[in-house]
């Protein structure tokens, strides 16, 4: 809450609710810098983490009720959402969204993203770390306990029956919103071999982005636009919403044979 707000002992429940809403508005949602990312479009400036206002959270008790103090002698309680299970929070099984698919040299390739919920204690963190390891995923942490209170996401690509490989990943307390022409992307390959290097581009853009143009080294370009679902006519270029992501969308561009990634930009 603002420091210059005077205390009013005659506040109503509505007044207090509004103050709590003001406090919540002071919380900035963010995302830690993604790893090994090629930046394209308008370069994003480094952003500082804002200290979340704790006033609204401090009065939430372990009983799962939020007490509202009204006029003298009056006491009321409003039920709030109680803590959910690790399974409901996607601690051990992530939310997964397929971003693109195609065929290369007779085998299918897939690009996908998964979002893991934040563990609340060391037991949940150890379980999540083990579940990630089973999928061949390696979060950017030193020890499992570093996952406590943090969400993790992995953008992956897979080829044939091979295990999915992480290409963009981040572990952070909150997701940082993208805006305007903000864009982060990485160029990878369809298969483990080097012959398709730089032909598959996976990235993140603002929710408002309606078109991303990927430029290739031979002067050609491909355009990704919002898509929902898949069809036989898909060329792999698309902007898609991902389950659990409220602050950005993902896009994929596919380069024609014989060329590779040069740059990408939000064009609409």
Q: Report pLDDT for 101.
A: 94
Bridge partners (DSSP) of residue 42 are 182
Flag whether pLDDT at 14 surpasses 60.
no
Mean pLDDT check: name the lowest of 66-80, 96-110, 157-171, 253-267. 66-80
Q: Which residue has the higher pLDDT, 27 or 247?
A: 247
Alpha carbons 146 and 121: distance in angstroms, whole number: 10
Q: Report pLDDT for 126.
A: 98
Q: Which residue has the higher pLDDT, 50 or 89?
A: 89
Flag whether pLDDT at 121 surpasses 50.
yes
Whether 77 is covered by a domain: the verdict is yes
Q: Are residues 71 and 162 in the same domain?
A: no
Whether 207 is covered by a domain: the verdict is yes
Q: Report pLDDT for 81.
A: 61
Q: Are residues 70 and 127 in the same domain?
A: no
Token output for 148: 């406590």
Residue finishing a domain among 55, 82, 109: 82
Alpha carbons 249 and 268: distance in angstroms, whole number: 14
Flag whether pLDDT at 118 surpasses 90.
yes
Contacting residues for 137 by C-beta, under 8 A, at least 6 apart: 154, 166, 169
Alpha carbons 197 and 195: distance in angstroms, whole number: 6
Say what percent of the chain tops pLDDT 90.
Answer: 62
- pTM for this entry: 0.70
Beta strands in 105-199 (DSSP E): 107-116, 151-159, 165-172, 183-188
Whether 46 is covered by a domain: the verdict is no
Q: What is the mean pLDDT of residues 6-34?
A: 41
Q: DSSP states of 141-167 as a string?
A: -SSGGGGTT-EEEEEEEEETTSPPEEE
Alpha carbons 250 and 183: distance in angstroms, whole number: 10
Residue reference for tokens 């900035």? 28
Whether 50 is covered by a domain: the verdict is no
**68 is in which domain, residue-wise?**
7-24+63-82
Q: What is the pLDDT of residues 53-66, one digit of tens each?
A: 222 222 233 333 33
Q: What is the mean pLDDT of residues 148-154?
A: 97
Alpha carbons 202 and 189: distance in angstroms, whole number: 10
Q: Are residues 20 and 145 in the same domain?
A: no
Residue reference for tokens 């032909």? 199
Q: What is the mean pLDDT of residues 49-78?
A: 35
Alpha carbons 125 and 109: distance in angstroms, whole number: 31
Q: What is the mean pLDDT of residues 120-149?
A: 96
CA distances from 90 to 1, 37, 125, 190, 246 (A): 32, 25, 12, 28, 16
DSSP letter (8 states) at residue 10: T
Token output for 12: 């109503």
Q: Report pLDDT for 248.
A: 95
In contact, 97 and 112? CB cutoff 8 Å:
yes
Q: Are residues 148 and 210 in the same domain?
A: yes
Q: Which residue has the higher pLDDT, 7 or 194?
A: 194
How many structural domains are present in the chain? Answer: 2
Alpha carbons 135 and 81: distance in angstroms, whole number: 32
């Amino acid at each position: 809450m603002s420091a210059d707000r005077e205390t009013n002992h005659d506040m109503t429940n509505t007044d207090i609710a509004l103050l709590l809403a003001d406090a919540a508005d002071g919380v900035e949602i963010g995302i830690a810098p993604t790893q090994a990312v090629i930046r394209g479009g308008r370069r994003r400036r480094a952003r500082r983490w804002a200290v979340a206002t704790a006033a609204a959270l401090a009065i939430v008790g372990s009983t799962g009720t939020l007490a509202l103090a009204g006029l003298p002698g009056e006491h009321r309680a409003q039920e709030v959402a109680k803590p959910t299970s690790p399974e409901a929070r996607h601690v051990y099984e992530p939310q997964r969204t397929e971003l693109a698919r195609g065929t290369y040299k007779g085998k299918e390739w897939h690009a996908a993203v998964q979002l893991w919920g934040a563990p609340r204690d060391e037991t949940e963190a150890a379980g999540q770390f083990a579940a990630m390891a089973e999928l061949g995923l390696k979060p950017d942490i030193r020890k499992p306990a570093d996952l406590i209170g943090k969400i993790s996401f992995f953008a992956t690509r897979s080829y044939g029956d091979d295990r999915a490989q992480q290409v963009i990943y981040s572990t952070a307390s909150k997701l940082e919103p993208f805006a305007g022409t903000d864009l982060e992307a990485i160029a990878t390959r369809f298969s483990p071999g080097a012959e398709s290097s730089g032909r598959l581009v996976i990235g993140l853009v603002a929710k408002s982005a309606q078109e991303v143009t990927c430029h290739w080294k031979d002067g050609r370009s491909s355009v990704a636009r919002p898509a929902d679902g898949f069809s036989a006519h898909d060329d792999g270029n698309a902007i898609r919403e991902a389950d659990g992501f409220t602050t950005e969308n993902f896009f994929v561009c596919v380069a024609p044979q014989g060329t590779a990634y040069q740059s990408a930009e939000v064009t609409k």
